[in-house]
Amino acid sequence: MMPNPSGVGKPDHVKAIAGTLRKDRANPDAPQQASDAPRVPYWLEGEAAEWFEVLVDRMRAIGLASSTYTETLAMAATRILEVEKTTEIIQREGRVYETSTAQGDRKLSDNPAVSQRSQALRHLHSLLGECGLTPTSITKVSTQGGKPAPSNPWDGM
């Protein structure tokens, strides 16, 4: 196994989710995730804010809706919007465009939106995986006793 290049191990809650937590190596002083639900950041507007709410609903459904993940969800919402916008450009303009070389020969070049969408998709996949919102990562998520999260955070009181 390769050592972690950052020198920092995975947080205990990630190990617990993955099923690799060893109690003898757990950090009893590790911070816990916040119990309040994420709110749309003030700088996130329009369609990205709508996607943020969709992602919060999905996190709530698996019992992980926490304000601890606000920034990660905001980045994911922004990336979803980037994927939508670049897809629209590709559908309208095509995957390639025609240009000519300095000698006047015909040349087909990649539409820059294709690589932008590919980069956004890779980053989005990574962000969704961190939140347990991909088919593989959801199998590693564990909620309290396997119970779905209450729709109202105050219901459990």
Per residue in 88-114, pLDDT tens? 999 999 999 999 999 989 999 999 999
Mean pLDDT for 127-156 is: 67
In a domain, 103, yes or no: yes
In this predicted model, which residue has the larger pLDDT, 63 or 77?
77
In a domain, 155, yes or no: no
Residues of the domain holding 79: 12-145
Q: What is the pTM of this model?
A: 0.71
In a domain, 99, yes or no: yes
Identify the residue whose tokens are 């219901």: 155
In a domain, 6, yes or no: no
In this predicted model, which residue has the larger pLDDT, 61 or 139?
61
In a domain, 137, yes or no: yes
Q: How many CB atoms lie within 10 A of CB 122?
A: 11
In a domain, 130, yes or no: yes
Domain tally for the chain?
A: 1
In a domain, 2, yes or no: no
In a domain, 1, yes or no: no
What are the φ and ψ backbone dihedral angles of 76, each rounded to 5 degrees? -65, -45
Distance, CA of 48 to chain centre: 13
3-state SS record for the chain: CCCCCCCCCCCHHHHHHHCCCCHHHCCCCCCCCCCCCCCCCCCCCHHHHHHHHHHHHHHHHCCCCCHHHHHHHHHHHHHHHHHHHHHHHHHHHCCEEEEECCCCCEEEEECHHHHHHHHHHHHHHHHHHHCCCCHHHHCCCCCHHHCCCCCCCCCCC
